[in-house]
Amino acid sequence: MSSEYNAFITDATIEGDGEGVLSGATVAVKDNISTKDVRTTCGSAMLESYEPPYDATVVRRVLDAGATIVGKANMDEFGMGGTTETSAFDPTENPRAPGHVAGGSSGGSAAAVAAGAADLALGSDTGGSIRNPAAFCGVVGLKPTYGLVSRYGLIAYANSLEQIGPIGPTVESTARLLDVIAGPDEHDGTTRTADLEGSYVDTIDGDVSGTTVGVLRNLTEGSDERVQTRFEAAIDDLRAQGASIVEIELESIEHALAAYYVIAMSEASSNLARFDGVRYGVSGGYDGDWNEAFASTRNEGFGEEVKRRILLGTYALSAGYHDKYYKKAQDARAWVKSDFTEAFTQADVLASPTMPVLAPKIGENLDDPLALYQIDANTVPVNLANVPAISVPIGEADGRPVGLQLIAPAFGEGRLFRTASALE
């Protein structure tokens, strides 16, 4: 079934050893999340034969809750892409819009759920990598608050931005998976306890009367008209169910995309340094000293997009450019954060189209990195601000699914599930 859309890089059956809320459920795991003795490639030739000697915390938690892992899902190489086309293991096709991309970077995870190859999936979201494929594939995907879910075992792309999160066919199933994976972990010093009574599943009552939804005007207006039409219809639906709608303009958002890419690439240049041939990738047989051998390994093992981001990130952190790029990006990040804090004094949740475009055809944008970076415009501000956001399906346009993004303050996942359930 998986080969149908190339949703999985590695088919595997890892039986859960516990009994719990996921007993009987199958889960697809993005291939940058470590699974003990099951190869974990990150979509890269560099890790083509890497088998981690340990399980990521989230993997332990889903297995302890009774789930069966059914495969390692395809992804853009090291998470660097929004279409799953930079994978060294070929693109994933969109089960809901054949011939089109599944989105990315967690394209395999979303496609597996959309195709019914797995009941649920784990993805990771650094700048939209869960919400983007969820929107393109017509499923639900949540990027949790930074620190809600342990990153232990998640192969880092940009560690100050990313979170592992759940993908499911419905809001309820997505909340159930979050219930299993959320919570502090002694192996991740950045995890914190959410102030939540009961479970996330309990928050789902479809009741939005009294909820104020802030529509992010500058993100909505930049979107494809077909997307805008679906989005406005969904907002009308919320209004009809008793939600108050207000319009919000975030000034800092114009700078978010640039800031995001500078920070993400800078961190990536450091996070991916360890892939030097000593323990991963092709090693030996190169002429020259160890430095030249490292360079050869990296040149051979990494794809174009990964190399581009490592080079740009290295540049942004270099002496003489650090203040101009990296430091400035951090200032912009602080601005985005304070803008969100301000926005949440006016609204309980914020809303925008998840993606400003419909899923492109496979191969359509492959040669234009800038065009690909721009489709992240609506999702990256959330990662900069460390807040949670969900993408929920709101119908189709031109035969392709459209998703709506809801954003809440830190640890406001409950509000997201409640509001999203009103749109199902």
Partner 1 sequence: MTQAARTRELIPVIGLEVHVQLETQTKIFCGCSTDTADADPNTHTCPVCLGLPGALPVLNEAAVEMAVKVGKALDAAIPEQTRFHRKNYFYPDLPKDFQITQYDNPICQDGELEITVEDSDRLIEIERAHLEEDPGSLKHAGGSIDQAEYTLVDYNRAGMPLMEIVTRPDFRGPEEVRAFLEKLTEVLEYLGVFDADRDGSLRVDANISMVSADAVAEDDSIAVATLEDTNRTEVKNISSHKGAQKALAYEITRQRNAIRRGRAVEQETRHWDESRGVTVSMRSKATEKDYRYFREADIPPLRVAGWKEQISIPELPDARRERFGTEFDLSDETASKLTATKAVADFYESLVGQFDPDFVATWTADVLLGELNYRDRSVESVDRKAFADLLELVATEAITEKNGAEVVLRSMLDDGAHPETIVEREGLGKTDADAVATAVATAIDNHPEAVADFHAGEDGALNYLVGQVMAETGGSADPQTVNQLLEEKLTS
**Under the rule (CB under 8 A), what is the footprint of partner 1?**
32-34, 40, 42, 47, 50, 52-54, 56, 151-156, 159-160, 186-190, 266-267, 269-270, 273-274, 276, 278, 280, 290-291, 294, 314, 317-319, 322, 326
Give whichever of 120 and 158 is closer to partner 1, judged by the CB atom.
158
Tokens of 100: 């089109």
3-state secondary structure of 100: strand
Supply the minimum distance, in Å, between the C-beta of residue 412 and partner 1.
21
CA distance 2 to 121: 13
Active site annotation includes 44: no
Name the strand (E) or helix (H) holding 169.
none
As measured in angstroms, the least distance from the Cβ of 259 to partner 1 is: 14
Task: Please confirm, yes or no, whether 30 is among the known catalytic residues.
Answer: yes
Contacts (Cβ under 8 Å, ≥6 apart) of 263: 158, 160, 161, 326, 329, 330, 333, 384
CB 80 within 8 A of CB 113: no
Residue 10, strand partner residues: 72
Catalytic, out of 34, 129, 269, 421: 129
Alpha helix stretches (DSSP H) within 138-203? 171-181
In DSSP terms, which residues pair with 216 in a beta bridge? 248
Whole-number minimum distance, CB 423 to partner 1, in Å? 33
Cα–Cα distance, 408 to 416 (Å, whole number): 6
User: Is the CB of 3 or the CB of 291 nearer to partner 1?
Assistant: 291
**In this structure, are residues 158 and 146 in contact, taking their beta carbons and an 8 Å threshold?**
no
Counting every residue, how long is the chain? 424
Catalytic annotation, pick one of 2, 105, 124, 266: 105
Q: Which amino acid is at 95?
A: P
Nearest distance from C-beta of residue 351 to partner 1, angstroms: 28
Rg of the chain (C-alpha set): 20
Q: Which CB sits closer to partner 1, 115 or 154?
A: 154
Q: Smaller CB distance to partner 1: residue 160 or 212?
A: 160
In the bound complex, what is the minimum distance in angstroms from residue 204's beta carbon to partner 1?
31
Tell me the C-alpha distance between 314 and 268, whole Å. 9
- Residue 241 or residue 283: which is nearer to partner 1 going by CB? 283
**Active site amino acids:** 30, 105, 129
